[in-house]
Amino acid sequence: GRIRHYKWEVKYEFKSPDCYKKLVIAINGRTPGPSIIAQEGDTIIVELKNSLLTENVAIHWHGIRQIGTPWSDGTEGVTQCPILPGDTFTYKFVVDRPGTYLYHAHYGMQREAGLYGSIRVSVKDGVSEPFTYDYDRSIILNDWYHKNTYEQATGLSSKPFVWVGEPQSLLIQGRGRFNCSSPILGSTNVCNSTNPKCSPYVITVVPGKTYRLRISSLTSLSALNFEIEGHNMTVVEADGHYVEPFVIKNLNIYSGETYSVLVKADQDPSRNYWAASNVISRKPATPTGLAIFNYYPNHPRRSPTSIPPTGPLWNDTSYRVAQSLSIKARQGYILPPPVKSDRVITLLNTQNEIDGYRRWAVNNVSFNLPHTPYLIALKEKLRHSFDQTPPPENYDYKNYDIYKKQDNANATSSNSIYRLKFNSTVDIILQNANTMVVNNSETHPWHLHGHDFWVLGYGMGKFDPIEDPKKYNLANPIMKNTVPVHSYGWTALRFIADNPGVWAFHCHIEAHFYMGMGVVFEEGVEKVGRLPSSIMGCGETKGFNRP
Ligand code: C2O
Ligand code: CU
């Protein structure tokens, strides 16, 4: 493969992505940052200069497995020390599979400040894909808050707890439109709806042509539904894997997921159409995010006169479960999972309280990142840098009522990790439950670093360890790196622990991971090569930071 070298400078800048001026984190002046466009087998080198003045940074390459380069995963506290202001850190890794991937900050809650972008990996020369299209476009969906990350993080870690609330806007490829005459703003000069910078994103299409739209979501909180008025979409790829094609009117997409859909410009070409994203699974309090699906040669800024799509009912869980279930591996591209697993880890997702602080927990343990990154601690045998007791493999399965608000919401917190036997097959059962509010269960998109997993099944209610595995799809399960666990439901995954390193597995909702909703897996750390000293320098690794 080729070497693709990027020089990025990460900096705070004032920008108005939705007309409202705030501090955003930009890469080389842009948010979303520059796209990485590469071919299978290429080596990506990103020289990242942290010019944030007073803040650390780290960037994760979401969906890239980092085989042989676990230190380039960019997960602060897990695989590296944070990059200090003024420092330059070099990420180097191979993009070993074609598909649609992402990158984003993985330090504190920085991602939602705008530090993100897309990675598109095409197939090798001479290889053809199982579908055809005329043009290829990437679109990142996001939600957007006007408060800065620090104000939000401080609220989340305060007593009394201050929730971030619903986002102010939904962005499509970094653009949205907040209603600046909204009374909550009063008279300010920070919001200007006539600023051309916040005009809607335009997808221009030539009548009759077919477009591959690579749609991904990096929302901080919201689950979204994306649709293009009057047009069907054929789903062909999910998280870098070919999907047995199916046609939909709208796509449910959870934070951290990527899809490719094929859209044919086959409607009345004399007008433009809305492309819309709407909040689902939480009661929407954010206006529809809009882009213009522009039929050439109509003017790209000509707004459709039609009413923008409002999406499906926000609380129709069965609709979302049905769409999740229809995502299967494509015939001819099926990599069958092992028929049995060596270990089953059940992870109960709950909202909790610790000493009066609001937290999220897994099997009643709320996750904390250690000061010394696990990869370095394990490789250099710094045994005191984190809790060595293994976290629980299950919850109180017999007695726990997942439909009930618990009388006792207490949890413990820990930075302990799951150590997996190298090359073993591991099943994960994500079990959802009621939150600390009666009749409420949220949707959590779980993302695994360093691997793809097979999605064996989804179900409603409490997972039955005897009956439900009999219904697993072992014939053509899709492989993914991010998957939702639906309200009051369960999701079953299987993966092979064959990638030496230390890997985070967490809810991709920014505030949830920040509040403890994650775990960490280690496998084959003794097989990891010599660690670069550039990842060291924090916690107990200070002494190792020598040339
Ligand atoms: Cu895209 Cu650990 O996250
Ligand atoms: Cu969550």
pLDDT digits (tens, 9 = 90+) for 246-299: 999 999 999 999 999 999 999 999 999 999 999 999 999 999 999 999 999 999
Phi-psi region of 289 (alpha: psi -120 to 50; beta: other; left: phi over 0): beta
Closest ligand (CA of 361): 2
**Residue type present at position 492:** A
Q: What Cα–Cα distance (Å) separates residue 42 from each residue in 3, 95, 127, 347, 529?
A: 6, 6, 15, 36, 21
The C-alpha angle 452, 456, 458, rounded to 5 degrees, equals 115
Q: Supply the Cα-derived Rg of the chain in whole angstroms.
A: 22
Quick one: average pLDDT of 71-80?
Answer: 98
Which protein residue's CA is at the shortest distance from atom 1 of ligand 1?
62
Give Cβ neighbours of residue 65 (< 8 Å, ≥ 6 apart): 96, 97, 450, 451, 452, 499
Tell me, what's the pLDDT at 197? 79
**Residue type present at position 218:** L
Whole-number Å distance, alpha carbon 384 to ligand 1 midpoint, is 26
- 363 in Cβ contact with 391 (< 8 Å): yes
Neighbouring CB atoms inside 10 A of 5's CB total 12
Whole-number Å distance, alpha carbon 491 to ligand 2 midpoint, is 14
- What residues are paired with 345 via a beta bridge? 428
pLDDT in tens, 333-372: 999 999 999 999 999 999 999 999 999 999 999 999 999 9
Lowest mean pLDDT, pick from 188-192, 199-203, 402-406, 428-432:
188-192
Q: Is the pLDDT of residue 101 over 60?
A: yes
Give Cβ neighbours of residue 517 (< 8 Å, ≥ 6 apart): 349, 360, 361, 362, 366, 367, 444, 506, 507, 509
Whole-number Å distance, alpha carbon 34 to ligand 1 midpoint, is 18
Which two tokens mark 35?
């796209």
Q: Is the pLDDT of residue 545 over 60?
A: no
102 CA: nearest ligand 1 atom? 1
Tell me, what's the pLDDT at 383? 85
Closest ligand (CA of 446): 2
75 CA: nearest ligand 1 atom? 2
Tell me, what's the pLDDT at 196? 81
pTM (two decimals)? 0.97
Whole-number Å distance, alpha carbon 301 to ligand 1 midpoint, is 35
Residue 187 pLDDT level (bands cut at 50, 70, 90):
low
Whole-number Å distance, alpha carbon 92 to ligand 2 midpoint, is 30
Lowest mean pLDDT, pick from 31-40, 76-85, 538-547:
538-547
Which two tokens mark 319?
């609709």
Whole-number Å distance, alpha carbon 530 to ligand 1 midpoint, is 24
pLDDT in tens, 114-123: 999 999 999 9
Lowest mean pLDDT, pick from 49-53, 182-186, 261-265, 531-535:
182-186
Query: What's the whole-number average pLDDT of the chain?
Result: 96
Q: Is the pLDDT of residue 96 over 90?
A: yes
Whole-number Å distance, alpha carbon 331 to ligand 2 midpoint, is 32
- What residues are paired with 536 via a beta bridge? none
Whole-number Å distance, alpha carbon 517 to ligand 1 midpoint, is 12
Residue 198 pLDDT level (bands cut at 50, 70, 90):
confident
* Four-residue CA torsion sign, 415, 421, 422, 426: negative
255 CA: nearest ligand 1 atom? 1
* Four-residue CA torsion sign, 522, 527, 529, 533: positive
The single residue listed with the structure tokens 């009066």 is 356
Could you give the CA distance from residue 27 to residue 12 in angstroms, rounded to a whole number? 9
Whole-number Å distance, alpha carbon 349 to ligand 2 midpoint, is 8
Quick one: average pLDDT of 517-535?
Answer: 97
Tell me, what's the pLDDT at 214? 98
- 282 in Cβ contact with 166 (< 8 Å): yes
* Four-residue CA torsion sign, 173, 517, 505, 461: negative
Spell out the long-range contacts of 7-14 with Cβ–Cβ below 8 A and sequence spacing 24 or more.
7/47, 7/49, 8/33, 8/34, 8/46, 8/47, 8/48, 8/49, 9/49, 9/51, 10/48, 10/49, 10/50, 10/51, 10/52, 10/57, 10/115, 11/51, 11/52, 12/52, 12/53
Closest ligand (CA of 282): 2
Whole-number Å distance, alpha carbon 190 to ligand 2 midpoint, is 32
Closest ligand (CA of 116): 1
Could you give the CA distance from residue 487 to residue 484 in angstroms, rounded to a whole number? 9
Q: Is the pLDDT of residue 13 over 90?
A: yes
Closest ligand (CA of 219): 1
Percent of all residues in the chain with a pLDDT value above 70, rounded to a whole number: 98
Tell me, what's the pLDDT at 213? 98
> What residue ranges line ligand 1, CB within 6 angstroms?
60, 62, 75, 104, 106, 256, 447, 449, 504, 506, 508
The single residue listed with the structure tokens 């230390």 is 502
The answer to whether ipTM exceeds 0.90 is yes
Tell me, what's the pLDDT at 547? 45
Could you give the CA distance from residue 25 to residue 105 in angstroms, rounded to a whole number? 10
Tell me, what's the pLDDT at 207? 98
Tell me, what's the pLDDT at 282? 97
Report the side by side order of strands in the sheet with 418-420. Answer: 418-420, 518-523, 501-507, 444-448, 482-485
Closest ligand (CA of 505): 1
